[in-house]
Amino acid sequence: MRVIGIETSCDETAVAVYDRDGGLLSHRLHSQIALHQAYGGVVPELASRDHIQRLLPLVRAALADANSGPATIDGVAYTAGPGLIGALLVGAGFARSLAYAWGKPAVRVHHLEGHLLAPLLERRAPAFPFLALLVSGGHTQLVDVADLGRYRILGETLDDAAGEAFDKTAKLLGLPYPGGAALARLAESGQSGRYAFPRPMLGRPGLEFSFSGLKTAALVALRASPGDAAARADVARGFQEAVVETLAEKTRRALTLTGRRRLVVAGGVGANRSLRERLAEVAAQCAAELYFPRTEFCTDNGAMIALAGCLRLMMRGFEPAPADAGGLELGARANWPLEDNVQQG
Ligand code: KG4
Ligand code: ZN
């Protein structure tokens, strides 16, 4: 079973080929960061147009790298949601046309399922079941993963996602978009404890998060600070510690509640070193094993989509589902709850 995966949900165009036996055979990615940087955030229309231009060369390159062609590909997987609708429609239209032309099944992949399964791309891969902390630019969720396709959201953010809070605070600090990684670098040289940041929702039971207040706290701290480089680094440090501590404590509670012995961290913020270190301590406290994808597969990529598509197709078997019998229904959804993730045809 060999699947080509196509990711276009936001500002990365990515294509990969995954083989059940050979593992990841190739992965290619074009980042649109330079395109959106001048605007301080993703401009959806520009994103869609750029995906159109990048897809075909990336597909050709990924196939060539994998020494594959239509004859050796068993399915075409694509991110069907959630994400920017225009960007999703480009990927969906492209992928389904390819599947139709090649006479192969098309597989709709849920973007967050891709993130959740990304650690399976690593040599040291988690077995099911596990608890996942999914922290990306659009989502922050604790998910109980009983098995492939069996997901239960235990808690999520009530307002901003963790990555969104990183990006917004980075902007306040004058860092270029997307600011998460840059803020993390700045925080390394900052002093702990100089500015007081709240620990949102820690005083309450439950597994919900709230991060929108932290950027306000950052703004207040910046206004009160002398504005020099050291003060900015201290604000970054205080902000990061508040996010990391909140994520770590809720994750600890979720591990205790579920009794799971494997913890997966996935999504762009999962690349954050301080978060990984803190989660390693939490996992050790709870006698759980910690798993995460390599840094480049924490953020959006095609490899996780090809992998998720391959696993879904294996579940379904080689016979195309009825929806795929020549179907050109795009099936893209800007909003698509993870727990609905049943029918993937
Ligand atoms: O998963 P992802 O690539 O895209 C979404 O599906 O949203 O996540 C992107 C998010 C951005 O908000 C970015 O700033 C954040 O991940 N991010 C980080 C780091 N690297 C990326 N946040 C904190 N520390 C990092 N090292
Ligand atoms: Zn993502």
* 96 touches 332 (CB < 8 A): no
Q: Does 293 sit in the ligand 1 pocket, CB within 6 Å? A: no
Q: Which residues contact 102 (CB under 8 A, 6 or more apart)?
A: 70, 73, 76
Residue 325's pLDDT is 41
Query: What's the CATH architecture for 129-292?
Result: 2-Layer Sandwich (3.30)
Query: Cβ atoms within 10 A of the Cβ of 57, count?
Result: 13
* 297 touches 304 (CB < 8 A): yes
The one-letter amino acid at 307: L
Q: Does 267 sit in the ligand 1 pocket, CB within 6 Å? A: yes
Residue 334 Cα to ligand 2 midpoint, Å, equals: 13
* 272 touches 141 (CB < 8 A): no
Residue 40's pLDDT is 87
Q: Does 299 sit in the ligand 1 pocket, CB within 6 Å? A: yes
Nearest-angstrom CA–CA distance, 116 and 265 = 8
CATH 3.30.420.40 in the chain: give the residue spans.
2-117+298-341, 129-292
* 170 touches 180 (CB < 8 A): yes
Rounded to whole angstroms, what are the CA distances from 240 to 41, 56, 191, 200, 300? Answer: 21, 39, 11, 13, 21
Residues with CB under 5 A from ligand 2 (ion): 136, 300
| Backbone φ and ψ of 195, nearest 5° | -115, 140
Nearest-atom index, ligand 1, CA of 170: 14
Q: Does 83 sit in the ligand 1 pocket, CB within 6 Å? A: no
Residue 48's pLDDT is 97
- Structure tokens of 37? 């940087």
Find the ligand nearest to 270 CA.
1
Q: Does 181 sit in the ligand 1 pocket, CB within 6 Å? A: yes
Q: Does 81 sit in the ligand 1 pocket, CB within 6 Å? A: no
Residue 229 Cα to ligand 2 midpoint, Å, equals: 31
Q: Which of 299, 300, 301 should be mutated for ligand 1, with most atoms under 8 A from CB? A: 299
Q: Does 305 sit in the ligand 1 pocket, CB within 6 Å? A: no
Residue 228's pLDDT is 85
Q: Does 180 sit in the ligand 1 pocket, CB within 6 Å? A: yes
Query: Which class does domain 2-117+298-341 fall in?
Result: alpha beta
Q: What is the full per-residue pLDDT of the chain (345 aa) written as tens digits?
A: 999 999 999 999 999 999 999 999 999 999 999 999 999 889 999 999 999 999 999 999 999 999 999 999 999 999 999 999 999 999 999 999 999 999 999 999 999 999 999 999 999 999 999 999 999 999 999 999 999 999 999 999 999 999 999 999 999 999 988 899 999 999 999 999 999 899 988 888 899 999 999 999 999 999 988 778 899 999 999 999 999 999 999 999 999 999 999 999 999 999 999 999 999 999 999 999 999 999 999 999 999 999 999 999 998 865 454 444 446 678 899 999 898 755 455
Residue nearest to atom 24 of ligand 1 (CA): 272
Please state the separation of Cα 9 from the chain's center in Å. Answer: 10
The one-letter amino acid at 24: L
